[in-house]
Amino acid sequence: MSDLLALVVEDHVDSAIIFSEAVKRAGFDVETIRDGAVALERLAAVEPDIVILDLNLPHVSGMDILRQIRSDPRLANTRVVVVTAHDEMVNSIQDQADLVLIKPVAFSQIRKLAADIGALIQ
Amino acid sequence: MKADNQSVSEQTHQLIEFLDKNEAILKEIDEGVIVFDLDGRAAIANPSAARLLERSVREIMGCEIVALAGEEVKVDGHEQILNLRRGDKTLLVNLVPICDAWGQRICTVAVFHNLLQEAELDRARDDFVSLASHELRTPLSAVLGYIDMLKEDVYGPLTSRQRRAVERAAANTEQLVSLINNLLDQAQMQAGGLTLNYVPFSPVKLVDGVQTVMTLAARRKGLNLTTSIADDVPAILLGDFQRLRQIVANLLDNAVKFTDSGTVHVGIYKPDVHHWAVEVSDTGCGIPPEARRDIFAPFRQADDPMKRKYRGAGLGLSIVRQLVDRMEGEIKLESEVGLGSTFTVVLPLALGGVEGVSSGDGGESICSQESSL
């Protein structure tokens, strides 16, 4: 029923559950993906409004996914929020991501952020 | 009055005899140590020196430094520092003259450090901190997330007793988050030796990132968290984004911790043409003048009664000070007891071409500016 689509790309099971629930409650349809290669496949098919992206992923890194999103004109309006536990990675991704959050990140932080983005889009 | 040569060589002899008898002192240390007598010949060498120079102790004994270093080095009355290549090793050699009470040299001690080994240790320490950081932050994030979901009734409505328990769990977890963030920051700075990595970044993203993370704690205390970026601030600044994030997060964490009602504000502005500044102000308890001098020292909080009320390691501001110093910036504190405090970090703008890229897209904020609720 909602026109807003979010991809949660996160291999840590609990984080994936929490972030997915948060964006869902902010009014997004959610697809949860735990593998980098699968995420790239999905990104070739859909145009999500927001991607919650972990960096440490199996098969294809979050870094490569971010680069792919930024080089695809079809995804020019996709907002990418990187959520990582590796704060030493911040400097190399901050210019490409719309926002970088360092774990621990709470459920309501993601929900509020997603709601803000949703409001900005509509 | 000067000692004559006879007594100098006697003292040299005594010292060498003493070290020889007490060989255990030098035997166990990791640094290579060689003592050269007044003729410039090795009189004592420990096993580490033999290992680092890839010779036996017996081979070293009696050699001059030139024979050992393979370079034009002379043992004289001056302290010297040399870099020495030995196969795949780089040795740092400190040559230190040892003098008697009259300033007369009685021998020279050479201390050999294995630089490569130290670099390897540094790297191992970096890797460990990075791993520990990931392994601590990830489960903590899950704990925080599930507690938050319970609190937000994602798993159904809570009874008032359950709610109180969950609130307690939330408050304790937030304390843990703040503590772990600080300890990891400190560990990372010590491991990485505080090397800065300057990148172009958007001040909007800097503020958005910390605001998103701090909103929860502010809201729990009923505080307004507001942000502002002055119009004349370039859309793109140059700086170590990760460290700047640490600075603002620590100041904000501190402000929220010591404020019980009112507003916490983060603002970025240009105090003059050559600088940009980030200020974090609060309507908290304020800091008494006598406590201001020590407030940036590690493991300190303003005073004892407050220590009991506000928990934490007292590391946050010390980390901020270290980072700001490294960035050749300045940190200022204005505070009035009972009214609040303002911390201002002033940093140099330039470092080449910042104004040139300021027309670039710094990105619009994806956070709403008011985040009380």
Q: Which of B72-76, B148-152, B187-191 has the highest mean pLDDT?
A: B148-152
Compute the nearest-CA separation of B115 from chain A (Å): 25
Return the closest-CA partner of residue A10 out of A47, A58, A44: A58
Per-residue model confidence (pLDDT) at position B299: 59
**B42-64 pLDDT per residue, tens:** 988 999 998 888 888 888 988 88
The rounded distance, in Å, linking the Cα atoms of B350 and B70 is: 46
Q: Which two tokens stand for residue B370?
A: 């008011």
> Quick one: pLDDT at residue B175?
81
Domain count, chain B: 2
Percent of chain B at pLDDT above 70?
86
In the structure, what pLDDT confidence band is assigned to residue B171 with cuts at 50, 70 and 90?
confident
Q: By the 8 A CB rule, do B111 and B31 touch?
A: yes
> What pLDDT, in 10s, does the model give residues B305-330?
455 455 555 678 888 988 898 899 99
Q: Is residue B308 part of a domain?
A: yes
φ, ψ for residue B205 (rounded to 5)? Answer: -70, -35
A88, A100, A102 member nearest B130 (Cβ) = A88
Q: How many CB atoms lie within 10 A of CB A20?
A: 21
Q: How many domains does chain A have?
A: 1
Q: What is the CATH number of the domain that holds B364?
A: 3.30.565.10
B335 is a domain residue: yes
| Averaged pLDDT of chain B | 82
Structure confidence at residue A1 as a pLDDT band (50, 70, 90): very low
| pLDDT confidence of residue B340 | 92
In the predicted model, is pLDDT for residue B75 greater than 90? Answer: no
State the Cα–Cα distance between residues B362 and B202, nearest whole angstrom. Answer: 5
Q: What is the spatial distance between Cα A25 and Cα A19, in angstroms, rounded to a whole number? A: 10
Mean pLDDT across chain A, nearest whole number?
93
What residue of A is the nearest CA neighbor of B210? A101
Identify the residue whose tokens are 């948060």. Answer: A22
Q: What is the CATH number of the domain that holds A24?
A: 3.40.50.2300
Q: Which amino acid is at B220?
A: R
Which of the listed residues B80, B115, B150 is the one where a domain comes to its end? B115
Tokens of B287: 């800091």
Q: Is residue B260 part of a domain?
A: yes
Between residues B350 and A54, the one the model is more confident about: A54
**Which structure tokens are listed for A102?**
């360092």
Cβ atoms of B213 and B249 closer than 8 Å: yes
Which long-range CB contacts under 8 A does B87-92 form with residues at least 24 apart?
B87/B54, B88/B116, B89/B52, B89/B114, B89/B115, B89/B116, B89/B117, B90/B114, B90/B115, B90/B116, B91/B32, B91/B52, B91/B115
Beta carbons of A109 and B216 less than 8 Å apart: yes
pLDDT number for residue B356: 40
Name which residue leads in pLDDT, B196 or A114: A114
Query: Tokens for B68?
Result: 């050992």
Q: Which residues pair with B264 in a beta bridge?
A: B225, B282
ipTM: 0.89
Answer yes or no: are the C-beta atoms of B133 and B125 closer than 8 Å.
no
Q: Cα–Cα distance between B8 and B330 in angstroms, integer?
A: 52
Mean pLDDT of A54-64: 95
- pLDDT at position B362 is 54
* A108·B144 Cβ contact <8 A: no
Cα A16-A116-B229 angle, rounded to 5 deg:
120
The answer to whether the peptide bond before residue B271 is cis (omega within 30 degrees of 0) is no
Within a domain: B210? yes
Using beta carbons and an 8 Å cutoff, which residues of A are at the interface with B? 12, 14-15, 18-19, 21, 25, 56, 79, 85-88, 90-92, 94-95, 98-109, 111-113, 116-117, 119-120
pLDDT of residue B225: 92
Q: State how far the Cα of A92 lies from the Cα of B303, in Å rounded to an integer.
A: 40
B366 in reach of chain A (CB within 8 A): yes
B126 assigned to some structural domain: no
Tell me if A111 sits within 8 A of B148, measured CB to CB: no
Q: Residue B269: its pLDDT value, please? A: 96
Domain range for residue A97?
Answer: 5-121
Task: Determine the pLDDT at residue B272.
Answer: 92
- Pick from A97-111, B26-40, B88-102, B348-362 the range whose average pLDDT is largest: A97-111
Overall average pLDDT of the A44-63 stretch: 96
Contacts of B172 (CB under 8 A, 6+ apart): none
- Residue A13 C-alpha, separation from nearest chain B C-alpha, in angstroms: 9
B95 lies in which domain range?
5-115
Among the three residues B98, B115, B132, which one is the final residue of a domain in this structure?
B115
- pLDDT band of B357, cuts 50, 70, 90: very low
Q: Give a yes or no: residue B139 inside a domain.
A: no
Question: Is B149 in contact with A18 (CB distance < 8 Å)?
Answer: yes
Least confident of A71-85, B8-22, B289-303: B289-303
Q: Among B148, B246, B367, whose Cβ lies nearest the Cβ of A108? A: B148
Residues A88-110: tens digit of each pLDDT = 888 889 889 999 998 988 898 89
Assess whether pLDDT exceeds 70 at residue B351: no
Residue B80 has pLDDT above 90, yes or no: no
Residue B211 lies in a domain: yes
At residue B20 the predicted structure's pLDDT band, cuts being 50, 70 and 90, is confident
Residues facing B92 on adjacent strands: B83, B113
B237-239/B263-272 β-pairing: unpaired
- What's the confidence (pLDDT) of residue B372? 37
| Shared-domain flag, residues B217 and B107 | no
Number of neighbours of residue B183 by Cβ within 10 angstroms: 16
Is the confidence at residue B98, as pLDDT, over 60? yes
Among B115, B131, B147, where does a domain finish?
B115
If pLDDT is split at 50, 70 and 90, which confidence band does B369 have? Answer: low
* pTM of the predicted model as reported, rounded to 2 decimal places: 0.69
